[in-house]
């Protein structure tokens, strides 16, 4: 039995348009569960449903096997970090952290103990007498975290807590949150729209789009076997290169401009003469040499990142990006040899967007690595 279970949960604010539709998911105890999706996809709404801040309009929410649809937030034994921190601006850091304990009439001595333990853990000991407006963004963030940690609630909900931080602080806080969750054995539901954050932090990820679950699974699973076009383009950076494709005889034709020879065995489970979308990850668009190459493509943009080089090609009407290690000497306008093979390609149904066949090379590689 899972810790939290949503069965067929839906939510509509105005009784006409639903914001969430038939959400089915279960979250295990001690799991770091990441909710990811584009802006407006209903992530915050789902979190607020779990917290009890919004009423569920359809379906059931279980916690520890009991239905808790009707339970007010305070009886759900959880803590929440809001997207905008929601610190009390008129209270000091100390009062902010102790607000909940005071409300629950926790013994004063214990309050003090917990306060000092938490403040130390979060590095807030020096800042306890300050007001929120005298803190930097990262410090506020830590106060918000401290407030949720000090409650010692077994379930912690976080709504894009790192969205306002700079890249360096964000990377640092990512690690801190992850460590904290492991150390305290918290169950975490973590909302973000940043797929890198989702990949690096989550035990499991749920991708949400337009109020519907797209896929739930381990980060690597989502990356290697995206259930549909949306997940394929959302997970991974740069996004998966895609193009309209069709299999004609012994050839795979992409965007009517790229012809790749295929063996019958490679495409055995792909229907012939069906409209397809073929996708390939940037790191699988290998660099070729003048001897070893399958295709020659036009370069339209080059981004030097120092340790790797992003090269954008034009394939029919689509732009494809390749990620090559090291600093490559390539210029815009060049025609560059590349190596493309069908075994790195994923195929999707062009009409439904559903995955037909994931890249077969990954399975082999996984096998080799083990």
Under the rule (CB under 8 A), what is the footprint of other proteins? 51-53, 72-74, 78-80, 82, 84, 86, 88-91, 99-100, 102-104, 133, 147, 151
Query: Which residue in 18, 41, 44, 79 binds Mg ion (CB under 5 A)?
Result: 44
- CB-nearer residue toward ligand ATP: 40 or 317: 40
Q: Is 41 in the site for Mg ion (CB under 5 A)?
A: no
Q: Is 43 in the site for ligand ATP (CB under 6 A)?
A: yes
- CB-nearer residue toward other proteins: 99 or 319: 99
- CB-nearer residue toward ligand ATP: 46 or 253: 46
Q: Which of 288, 189, 193, 210 is nearest to 41 (CA)?
A: 210
- CB-nearer residue toward other proteins: 85 or 320: 85
Q: How far is the CB of 143 from other proteins (least distance, A)?
A: 12
- Answer whether the bond into residue 238 is a cis peptide, omega within 30°: yes
CA distance 189 to 49: 12
Give ∠ CA 52-55-57 in degrees, rounded to 5: 140
- CB-nearer residue toward other proteins: 22 or 100: 100
| 39-47, 116-124, 169-177, 180-188 -> range binding Mg ion (CB under 5 A) | 39-47
Q: Is 42 in the site for ligand ATP (CB under 6 A)?
A: yes
The residue sitting closest to ligand ATP, measured at its beta carbon, is 44
DSSP 8-state class, residue 307: S
Q: Is 161 in the site for ligand ATP (CB under 6 A)?
A: no
Length of the chain: 370
CA distance 264 to 250: 7
Q: Is 44 in the site for ligand ATP (CB under 6 A)?
A: yes
How many C-alpha atoms does 278 have within 13 Å on its Cβ side?
Answer: 27
Query: Which residue in 1, 15, 16, 39 binds ligand ATP (CB under 6 A)?
Result: 39
> What is the number of H-type helices and E-type strands within the chain?
9, 21
Question: What is the number of other CB atoms lying within 10 angstroms of the CB of residue 330?
Answer: 17
Q: Which of 113, 168, 158 is nearest to 136 (CA)?
A: 168
Q: Is 86 in the site for ligand ATP (CB under 6 A)?
A: no
Assess contact for 87 and 132: CB atoms under 8 A: yes
DSSP 8-state class, residue 125: G
- CB-nearer residue toward other proteins: 90 or 263: 90
From other proteins, ligand ATP, Mg ion, none, interface partner of 296 (C-beta below 5 to 8 A by class): none
- CB-nearer residue toward ligand ATP: 187 or 192: 192
Assess contact for 332 and 302: CB atoms under 8 A: yes
Per-position x/- string for 191-220, each x denoting binding to ligand ATP as judged by CB under 6 A, each - no binding? --x---------------------------
Q: Is 312 in the site for Mg ion (CB under 5 A)?
A: no
Q: What is the DSSP string of 43-91?
A: HHHHHHHHHTSS---EEEEEETTEE-TT--GGGG-EEEE-TT----TTS
| 36-44, 74-82, 269-277, 294-302 -> range binding Mg ion (CB under 5 A) | 36-44
Residues in touch with Mg ion (CB under 5 A): 44
């Amino acid at each position: 039995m899972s810790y939290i279970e949503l069965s067929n949960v839906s939510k509509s604010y105005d009784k006409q348009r639903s914001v969430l539709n038939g959400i089915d998911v279960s979250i295990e105890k001690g799991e770091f569960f990441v909710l990811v999706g584009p802006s407006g996809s209903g992530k915050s709404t789902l979190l607020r449903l779990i917290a009890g801040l919004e009423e569920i309009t359809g379906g059931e929410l279980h916690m520890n096997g009991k239905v808790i649809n009707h339970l007010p937030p305070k009886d759900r034994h959880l803590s929440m970090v809001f997207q905008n921190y929601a610190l009390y601006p008129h209270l000091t850091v100390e009062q902010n952290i102790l607000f909940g304990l005071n409300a629950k009439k926790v013994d004063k001595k214990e309050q003090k103990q917990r306060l000092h333990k938490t403040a130390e853990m979060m590095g807030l000991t020096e800042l306890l007498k300050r007001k929120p407006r005298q803190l930097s963004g990262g410090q506020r963030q830590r106060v918000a975290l401290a407030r949720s940690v000090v409650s010692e609630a077994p379930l912690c909900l976080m709504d894009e807590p790192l969205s306002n931080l700079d890249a360096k602080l964000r990377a640092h806080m990512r690690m801190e949150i992850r460590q904290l969750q492991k150390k305290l054995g918290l169950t975490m539901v973590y909302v973000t729209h940043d797929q890198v954050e989702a990949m690096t932090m989550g035990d499991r990820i749920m991708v949400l789009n337009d109020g519907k679950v797209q896929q739930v699974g381990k980060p690597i699973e989502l990356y290697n076997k995206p259930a549909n076009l949306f997940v394929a383009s959302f997970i991974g950076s740069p996004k998966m290169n895609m193009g309209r494709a069709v299999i004609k005889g012994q050839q795979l034709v992409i965007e009517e401009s790229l012809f790749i020879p295929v063996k019958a065995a490679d495409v055995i489970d792909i229907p012939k003469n069906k409209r397809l979308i073929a996708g390939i990850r940037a790191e699988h668009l290998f660099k070729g040499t003048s001897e070893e190459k399958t295709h020659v493509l036009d370069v339209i943009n080059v981004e030097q990142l120092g340790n790797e080089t992003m090269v954008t090609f034009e394939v029919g009407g689509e732009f494809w990006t390749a990620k090559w290690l090291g600093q490559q000497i390539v210029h815009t306008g060049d025609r560059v040899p590349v190596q493309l093979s069908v075994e790195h390609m994923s195929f999707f149904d062009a009409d439904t967007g559903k995955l037909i066949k994931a890249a077969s090379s990954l399975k082999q590689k996984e096998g080799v690595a083990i």
